[in-house]
Amino acid sequence: MTSNPATPPGPARHALVFGASGAIGAALVARLLDAGWSVDAVSRAPRADAARLRWHAGAFDAMPASLPDRADAIFSCGPLDRFSLWYAGAAIDCPRIVAFGSTSDATKQAARDPGERELAMRLRASGERVFAAANARGATATLLRPTLVYGSGRDRNLSLIVALARRSGVFVLPRDARGLRQPVHVDDLAAAAEAAFDAPGAQGQAFALPGGDTIDYRTMVARTLACLHPAPRLLAVPGVLFDAALWTAHRAGRLQGLPPGAVARMREDLVFDAAPAREAFGYAPRAFRPEPAMFAVD
Ligand SMILES: NC(=O)c1ccc[n+]([C@@H]2O[C@H](COP(=O)([O-])OP(=O)(O)OC[C@H]3O[C@@H](n4cnc5c(N)ncnc54)[C@H](OP(=O)(O)O)[C@@H]3O)[C@@H](O)[C@H]2O)c1
C-alpha cells in the first residue's frame, strides 16, 4: 500500500491521533512519523515528546487546551464511542477523519450475552455518529473495521492465549473450535489507515479489514503456539467435555473471562471480504505467519 502516486509531495502533513499509545495507534504513529508527518497524540497518561511528535495528556471528557484547533487528518485508534461523542461536539477544523471500529459491530449483533449485543449496537451507533458529524462540517470520514488483531504482543486475543499457555505449558480447546478466522497484523492496519487517508474512494465509506489468511480457530491457535520456544501443547478435547468443564468452572465462580458466548463463537465462521478495501486503497494484508516476538508481552 502506498500513497496516491498522483499526489505531489507537499508541505509536511499534520495528524491528530487518539489512542496513539495503543497497539494500532503506536504502529500508526511510527508510520506517520516515518512518512514525514508531524503528529499531535493524545493519551490519558503524560508521555515524552519526540521529534515531530507532541503528546497531550487528556481524556475525551476533559481535553487539554493545548490540543491543536486544526489538522490535516484525525485518526481515532481508541474507543470509537468516546471519540464519536467528542468529535460530534468538537470545534476542530479538519477535512479527513479515519476512525477504527470493529467487525464486532456485526459478529456480536446476535450474541447470547446482552453486554456483547450492546457493544455491537454501540459500535454501529458510534460509526454513524462519526459519519454524520463529518458530513455536518463538510469533512469526510472513513471507518476501518478490523477482525481479530495481533502482532503487537498487547492484544487480548492471541497474546492472552500465549500468556496462559506459557504459564501452564498446555492450552485446552474444544475439538470443534473450527470457526473461520482472519487474524490481521497491526502494521497492516496502520498502513491501511495511512492509505485510506489519501484515497478518494475511501471517503464516506466503512471497510472491513480482515487478515490475509482465512483459517479455522484451532489452526490459528495451533500455529501460534507452534512458533514458541518451547512450544506449549495444544490439547483438543471433545466439545461436550469442554462445555461441561466450563459450566462447572462458572458455577464455582471461575473462568468468568471466558463466557459461553465466546466459546460458541469459536465454532462460528467470522469472515469478511477484503475486496472493497483492496479496491479503494490497495489493502493487501499479510498471511498469518506467527513469530514469538508478535506475542511478547512487555
Ligand atoms: N485488538 C483487537 O483485536 C481489535 C479488533 C477489532 C477492532 N479493534 C479496535 O481498534 C481500535 C484500537 O485497538 P487496539 O487493540 O490498538 O487498542 P488498545 O491497544 O487497547 O489501545 C487503545 C488506546 O486507546 C486509549 N483508550 C483506551 N480507553 C480509553 C478511554 N476510556 N478514554 C480514552 N482513551 C482510551 C488508550 O490510550 P491511553 O491509555 O494512552 O489513554 C489505549 O492505548 C479500537 O477502536 C478497537 O476497538 C481492536
Query: In the structure, what pLDDT confidence band is assigned to residue 6 with cuts at 50, 70 and 90?
Result: very low
pLDDT recorded at residue 297? 57
Q: What is the CA(241)–ligand 1 centre distance, in A?
A: 35
CATH architecture of the region 14-295: 3-Layer(aba) Sandwich (3.40)
Write out residues with Cβ below 6 Å of ligand 1: 19, 21-25, 43-45, 59-60, 77-80, 82, 100, 102, 146, 148-149, 154-155, 157
Is the Cβ–Cβ distance between 233 and 170 less than 8 Å? Answer: yes
pLDDT at 262: 85
Contact (Cβ atoms closer than 8 angstroms) between residue 271 and residue 214 = yes
Summarize pLDDT for 199-257 with one digit per residue, the tens. 999 999 999 999 999 999 999 999 999 999 999 999 999 999 999 998 998 999 988 87
Strands 180-181 and 73-76: unpaired
**pLDDT score recorded for residue 256:** 81
Please check the confidence at residue 268 and state whether its pLDDT lies above 50.
Answer: yes
Q: How far does residue 252's CA lie from ligand 1's centre (Å)?
A: 31
What's the gap in Å between 77 CA and the centre of ligand 1? 6
pLDDT for 11 beyond 80: no
Pick the range with the lowest mean pLDDT from 55-64, 65-74, 101-110, 246-255.
Answer: 246-255
CA of 65 to the centre of ligand 1 (A): 23
Contacts of 136 (CB under 8 A, 6+ apart): none
The residue ranges of every structural domain in the chain are 14-295
User: For the residues 100-127, what does the mean pLDDT come to?
Assistant: 95
Tell me which of 18, 39, 40, 100 to substitute to probe ligand 1's pocket, judged by most ligand atoms within 8 Å of the beta carbon.
Answer: 100
> How far is Cα 193 from Cα 200, in angstroms, rounded to an integer?
13
For residues 278 and 205, what is the distance between their CA atoms, to the nearest angstrom? 13
pLDDT of 55 reads 98
State the pLDDT at residue 87: 98
pLDDT per position as a tens digit, 155-164: 889 999 999 9
> What is the C-alpha separation between 258 and 255, in angstroms, rounded?
6
Whether the per-residue pLDDT at 298 is higher than 70: the answer is no
* pLDDT confidence bin for 1, thresholds 50/70/90: low
Q: How far does the centroid of ligand 1 lie from the alpha carbon of residue 59, in Å?
A: 13
What confidence score (pLDDT) does residue 65 get? 94
Give the pLDDT score at 9.
56
- Mean predicted confidence (pLDDT) in 48-72: 96
Gyration radius (Cα) of the chain, Å = 20
Nearest CA residue ID for atom 14, ligand 1: 23
Neighbour tally for 63: CB within 10 Å: 15
pTM (two decimals): 0.94
Closest CA to 81 of 121, 136, 54: 121
Question: How does pLDDT run across 22-49, given as a tens digit for each residue?
Answer: 999 999 999 999 999 999 999 999 999 9
Cβ–Cβ < 8 Å for 14, 71: yes
Mean pLDDT of 60-86: 97
